[in-house]
Amino acid sequence: MNLKNKITNKLQSSKLRPTKQRKKIAEFLFNREKTFHFTAEELNKIINKKDSSEKISLATIYNTIDAFKKAGHLKEILTNNNKSFYDTNVSSHHHFFDIETNELEDINYNDIKVVNLPHAPKGKKIQDVEVTLTVKKS
């Protein structure tokens, strides 16, 4: 199956209509080897670079990120920044976070071991375990 069909399938099986806009964004986000970390504004800039024949509105960028997140294709990341960061790697994994440049870098889940996990507060359950290694210029 070719890329276009794969993307269309992915959208349809998430009950998202494969519109021109969603296909373009999905193709950009999900057709890659390495994890991509981004903000809505960054994605907007990249998708709507000069050449791009047809522009996608900022509202659609936000809507699409939200739809992809709800469908489980994107994950929101914890940072101390006041804009939201998203991650194309939706499996459990860890990060380096450069507090000076706001850059994120993946750490494989198995490269860090977290032992002695405490119990969740009563009435709650643990949903995810994230380790963030805050880094800065040395």
**84 lies in the site for DNA, by CB under 7 A:** yes
CA 99, CA 1: separation in Å to the nearest integer? Answer: 41
CA 43, CA 17: separation in Å to the nearest integer? Answer: 20
Cβ proximity to a copy of itself, 2 vs 82, nearer residue: 82
CB of 6 to Mn ion, least distance (A): 32
Cβ proximity to DNA, 56 vs 95, nearer residue: 56
Q: Would you say how long the chain is, in residues?
A: 138
C-beta of residue 37 within 8 angstroms of C-beta of residue 86: yes
Cβ proximity to DNA, 62 vs 109, nearer residue: 62
Instruction: Select from 99, 105, 110 the least CA-distant residue to 134.
Output: 99
Name the segment binding DNA (CB under 7 A); options: 28-36, 82-90, 92-100, 127-135: 82-90
Q: Interface with DNA by CB under 7 A: which residues?
A: 12, 16-22, 39-41, 54-60, 62-64, 66-67, 82-84
